[in-house]
Amino acid sequence: MTVYDAIVLAGGAAKRLGGADKPALRVGGRALLDRVLAACPDAAATVVVGGRRPTIRPVTWAREEPQGGGPLAALSAGVRLTTAGHLLVLSADLPFLEESTVEELLAATAHGERDGALCVDQDGRDQPLVAVYRSEPLRRELALLAAEHGSLAGLPLRLLTHELDLARVEADPLASFDCDTWEDLAAARARIGDHGTVLDEWITAVKNELGIELDVDTDVLLDLARDAAHSVARPAAPLTTFLVGYAAAKASGDGGAEAVAEAARKAAALALRWADEAETP
């Protein structure tokens, strides 16, 4: 896998949100900034440009000069604290960004001589804050712009991206969905609560809250809960799944996915035997 550093831009005035602290706004119970950080856990280093705040994992903090100087000034402040040859650049308001999109961007820049790759949204617009850049050309162009204009403050991102040879990646349409307005935030929260996605979102939120890095087959646990509820009693479902998790952690030391599956198998078999006894004259 390509070694990369991540830069997350978490400043800005959030004028269309009435000056609210946008990175701290929550979608699905998690701060927008934490959702973005969860999408790049493999970054060798992560620099967040903005005001300090609690985060789900350690990061390095930076501030643009002058504060409020805009995205290019913020990007430059972040770049100065990185060393990797590839730099993932993200805004802090992307509630639906996934690791898969980061992997697509890295793959698009892993080979060849292009200067980077950025996402293209469903309307065909470039998203320079959902992108991976090769460090050397990015540093070069930032320095040239600073020399030409005397400062990066207030300059638009397009001055940078127009000078770079960038691949375009058509990722998940939601990958570049950002929360610039209260309407955007409401739409994101509504989608999180959609019946088709709410369970996956909830499980991900719980794992992040508890610091658990584990891919569990939720269908196995749901089947177990159903068997326990139907074969024994409804309250048996949550209690049984809790005991399975406890047993898996005790058996393997870290509660790995295989240990969870084996404990669930044993408990499900027990529930079926229990039901058979109840039905036997």
Ordered per-residue pLDDT tens for the chain, 281 residues: 789 999 999 987 778 888 888 999 999 888 999 999 999 999 999 999 999 999 989 999 999 988 889 999 999 999 999 999 999 999 999 999 999 999 999 999 987 789 999 999 888 899 999 999 999 999 999 999 999 999 999 999 999 999 999 999 998 888 989 999 999 999 988 888 775 677 777 777 777 777 767 677 778 888 888 888 888 888 888 888 888 888 888 776 655 778 888 888 888 888 887 777 666 65
Q: What is the pTM of this model?
A: 0.80
Q: Residue 111, exposed/middle/buried by CB under 10 A (0-12, 13-18, 19+)?
A: exposed
**CA 106 and chain centroid, separation:** 15
> What is the token pair recorded at 88?
């993932």
Contacts (Cβ under 8 Å, ≥6 apart) of 44: 3, 4, 5, 83, 84
